[in-house]
Structure 1
Amino acid sequence: MMIFNTHKPTPLKPVFLNSIPKSGTNLLIQALSGVPGLKHEPTATFFNSYEYPMNFYRLGKVRNGNFAVGHIYYSEEWSRMLRRLQMKQIFIIRDLRDILVSLCYFIVDKPQYHTMNQLRTYLITHASTPIEQIRLLMTGIQDGDFYYPDFKTWISPFSGWLNDSNTLVVRYEQLVETQESRTQAFKSIANYLDDGTWDKKTMSMIVSSMEANVDPRFCGTFRKGVIGDWKIHFEQQDIETFNKIAGTALRDFGYK
């Protein structure tokens, strides 16, 4: 007779999954949702970095066994809030050039998933090709009353999380480059989440469960997800322009 283990794992303390938009957020949501005793409630989603009292109240309502998700700029206030709530943070990043390309396609091709309608209309009416639209997002827009920041201004406020001691930084490239790199990334995440109660067998089971739960087909915002997609979009002039505008940010995030 086969005996099944019916013991339910103790729910983990709340976790905050933070990310730069278009850096692999949904892939990591799927992976974390594969961790037994951990799930995401869609209402626990954060986009406004600056409403500190309301954000602290909402974060405090995230229960054990749940993780919140957001695109939140670094600030000392946010860092303190997470610590006060004893909430570990996972921050996923990606090559900034791939983020720029993916962001452009997301804005133009996926209007059902965002509210950037004015920006989308501007890109469509002022640029006839994807690379022209990418260039507008790269250099920024100042046209009468309509303003959108250049890419370095848009991306730089996230960089403070890279050196935050309460934050595990995960690179998107680790999750897609090879099976070995993905497994190693998931092991790092599992070790970070562990409260000291998981043995080696449990840890292996959790990593396998994370891997099994990842399926891009069930993510409506997924496009290609390849590494280095920017190389087929950027011309030499775009490489030079990007390096001039955001080259220091690229290095800050650990990409050459």
Structure 2
Amino acid sequence: MDRMNVTEEFAGMQLPGHLHTPQSLQYAQEFPFREEDVVIVTYPKSGTTWMQEILTLIYSKGDPTIATSVPNWVRAPWLEHIYFKDNIKDEEGPRFITSHLPSDILAPALQKSKAKVIYIMRNPKDVAVSFYYFHKMAKFLPDVTSFPEFLKLFLEGQVYYGSWFDHVKGWYSQKNNLDIFYIRYEDMCKDLRRSIKKLCGFLGCPMYSGEVDKIEQNCKFDIMSKNIMVNYTLVPKEILDHEQSKFMRKGVVGDWKNHLTDEQNEVFDKLYKEKMSNCDLEMVWNID
């Protein structure tokens, strides 16, 4: 279990050394994207695993064979992770690549290519809750004693991977510079089928209704949470302890209401208004 307590500093943010090295981060920054590449970009805990699964099934026409036999981190490897070079395919055709890196690191290289980018946004209150529980299970992340402690760090941008506000606004500012598709986690929760069809349109992958049925069925939370190629139970307990929290915990919208006090919610709303005042993005906080 190498570098479990190491923190990497890169581009003004902290990253877990277990997954990142200076060499892997430099390689990510200089990676030569290809026109056929499809790049999934998210801030942590925003629906990354879900999108990896959706893309797998879109390109397999709904056939779940690959999704149930190959780990998702092999199907759509993380660009900045140590093992990326070992898993990225060199053959022709679409390559799925995943990243949490901010736009100022990746956008310059992406602008030189015609790669397609899918950016998933999730409301930051639910992100904070999900990220907190991930800290409880992930042994390569700093210990946090309580949710109020973590929420304070999250709002200050003093967590691994940096500020949610900077990440989202940075990638949203690339809307005229990249072939990029923005989608909200909440829209996927509200109408998964419609989201799949819109993605197919962006990717240029026309689908028959029966194929969309299969994709939708295999991308439901309860199905994915039982798939060992998706739910990260293949990872040793010394790295991800599922007894502390499940990797796929709830997959819902609005769980923040069970965690934030009225006072915390008020502080959050005030900061959100300040940070996002120059951005026309609309977040969905609840689904009725």
2:152 maps to 1:136: yes
What residue identity is the alignment partner of 1:101? V
From 214, 224, 230, give the equivalent of 1:216. 224
2:255 maps to 1:247: no
1:151 and 1:244 map into 2 onto residues whose CA distance is 22
Equivalent residue of 1:81, what SS? helix
From 248, 257, 262, give the equivalent of 1:236. 262
Equivalent residue of 2:103, what SS? coil
Does the 8 Å CA contact 1:140/1:150 hold for their aligned counterparts?
A: no
Could you say if the C-alpha distance between residues 72 and 133 of structure 1 is closer, same or farther in structure 2, counting changes exceeding 3 Å?
same
Does the 8 Å CA contact 1:16/1:88 hold for their aligned counterparts?
A: yes
Task: Tell me the TM-score normalized by structure 1.
Answer: 0.69
Alignment of 1:173-184 (within 5 A): 173-177=186-190, 181-184=191-194
User: Whose Rg is larger?
Assistant: 1
Does the 8 Å CA contact 1:152/1:249 hold for their aligned counterparts?
A: no
Equivalent residue of 1:68, what SS? strand
2:107 maps to 1:72: no
Equivalent residue of 2:45, what SS? coil
User: 5+ unaligned residues in a row in structure 2: which ranges?
Assistant: 1-34, 67-71, 233-246
Q: More helix by proportion, 1 or 2?
A: 1
User: 5+ unaligned residues in a row in structure 1: which ranges?
Assistant: 1-11, 49-54, 142-147
Matched residue count = 211
What residue identity is the alignment partner of 2:204? D
Tell me which residue corresponds to 1:169.
182
**Deviations 1:149-185 (CA, angstroms, capped at 9, x unpaired):** 59984431332222424210111111112xxx21111
Does the 8 Å CA contact 2:218/2:224 hold for their aligned counterparts?
A: no
2:69 maps to 1:35: no
- Kindly, what percent of the aligned residue pairs are identical? 21
Equivalent residue of 1:190, what SS? helix
Task: Tell me the TM-score normalized by structure 2.
Answer: 0.62
Equivalent residue of 1:44, what SS? coil
**Deviations 1:50-69 (CA, angstroms, capped at 9, x unpaired):** xxxxx9xx989585232111
1:205 and 1:162 map into 2 onto residues whose CA distance is 33
2:139 maps to 1:92: no
Could you say if the C-alpha distance between residues 62 and 171 of structure 1 is closer, same or farther in structure 2, counting changes exceeding 3 Å?
farther
2:160 and 2:261 map into 1 onto residues whose CA distance is 18
Which consecutive aligned stretches of 4+ in structure 1 deviate over 6 angstroms post-superposition? none
Equivalent residue of 1:237, what SS? helix
2:51 maps to 1:46: no
Could you say if the C-alpha distance between residues 207 and 72 of structure 1 is closer, same or farther in structure 2, counting changes exceeding 3 Å?
farther
